[in-house]
Amino acid sequence: MIIAIETSTQFLSIAIASSYDDIILELNYFREFYHCEMLNKILDDLKIDFSKIKEIIISRGPGFFSSLRISLAFSKALKIFNENIKFKAISSLKNIAFKLKGYKVIPTIKAPKNMVYACAFDENFHLILEEGIYNLEFLKNEFKNFIIFEDIPSARNLILLSKFENYIDIENFQLNYIREPDAVYNKRS
């Protein structure tokens, strides 16, 4: 069994698959920042047998700091129950862009201070602008023939995208925050 957990925004998306090509279920929830409670409840309701989980796929970011930490911590906790689980992590922006594969796109996620997390993909789904934090007006001016959009990342897409991704060492894995959370800046000041 493969479980994908997408928590990079205020939406929670979970997908379950028997293989990369056989997605059994996708559940999407919007309940701002209740990911931890919802995740536990959903897996309890579905009566997931942790011993049957072969792989977990999570978002690596960018996105909301606390939301991303939840899926990472949850994955590490599941490894305690089943040490044979393998892990993959997919970019949140790549996840969003996958919905418009075949077009020139700039997927975005809201970032602090009126900025957006973004990157750009050409029509062949090649990354042509690195993931970063950008001013939306800059993107509109520099990439006039691109579709710039914000959407909800999908756990289903995590499974589809992970087919050709390498496994990660979950114990040493670092999420892609792009910028440190304000709490870190405030602590340093």
Domain ranges in the chain are 2-188
188 phi/psi in degrees, rounded to 5: -75, -25
Cα separation, 120 vs 107, whole angstroms: 7
Report whether the peptide linkage leading into residue 153 is cis, meaning its omega lies within 30 degrees of zero.
no
Please report the pLDDT score of residue 189 as a whole number: 41
Beta bridge partners, 28, equal: 13
Cα separation, 135 vs 140, whole angstroms: 9
The architecture that CATH gives domain 2-188 is 2-Layer Sandwich (3.30)
Residue 87 has pLDDT above 90, yes or no: yes
- Looking at every residue in the chain, the average pLDDT score rounds to 89
Write the pLDDT tens digit of every residue in 138-182.
999 999 999 999 999 999 999 999 998 999 999 999 999 886 555
Cα separation, 78 vs 60, whole angstroms: 17
Cα separation, 183 vs 189, whole angstroms: 10
Most confident region among 1-15, 42-56, 117-131 by mean pLDDT: 117-131
* Overall residue count recorded for the chain in this entry: 189
Q: For the residues 128-136, what does the mean pLDDT come to?
A: 96
Residue 117 has pLDDT above 70, yes or no: yes
Cα separation, 104 vs 122, whole angstroms: 4
Q: How confident is the model at residue 36 (pLDDT cuts 50, 70, 90)?
A: low
pTM higher than the cut 0.75: yes
Radius of gyration, CA atoms only, the chain = 17
